[in-house]
Amino acid sequence: MISKLFSPITLGNLVLDNRIVISPMCQYSAENGQATDWHLIHLGHLAMSGAGLLFIEATAIAPEGRISAGDLGLWSDLTEMALARVIQAVRQYSSMPIAIQLAHAGRKASTKVPWEGGQSIAKGNGGWQTVSPSILPYASGDPHPHALDATDLQRICQDFVSAAQRAHRLGVDVIELHAAHGYLLHQLLSPLSNVRNDQFGGSLENRMRFPLEVFEAIRSVVPEESPVGIRISATDWVEGGWDIEQSVVFVKELQRRGCTFVDVSSGGLSPLQQISIEPGYQVRFAEKIRQETGLTTIAVGLITEPEQAETIIATGQADMVALARGMLYDPRWPWHAAAKLGAQVIAPKQYWRSQPQAFKTLFKQ
Query: How far is the C-alpha of 42 from the C-alpha of 324, rounded, in Å?
Result: 13
Query: How far is the C-alpha of 42 from the C-alpha of 314, rounded, in Å?
Result: 31
Residue 199: CB atoms within 10 Å: 12
3-state secondary structure of 300: coil
Helix axes 37-46, 77-93, angle to 10 degrees: 40
Query: How far is the C-alpha of 206 from the C-alpha of 269, rounded, in Å?
Result: 19
183 noted as active-site residue: yes
Confirm if 321 and 20 have CB atoms less than 8 A apart.
Answer: yes
The conformational region for residue 267 under phi > 0 = left, psi -120 to 50 = alpha, else beta, is: left
CB-neighbour burial class of residue 165 (10 A; exposed 0-12, middle 13-18, buried 19+):
middle
DSSP 84-147: HHHHHHHHHH----EEEEEE--GGG-SB--GGGT--B--GGGT----EESSS--SSTTSPPPEE
3-state secondary structure of 76: coil
DSSP single-letter state for residue 79: H
Catalytic residue among 138, 183, 281, 351: 183
- Residues marked active site are found at 183
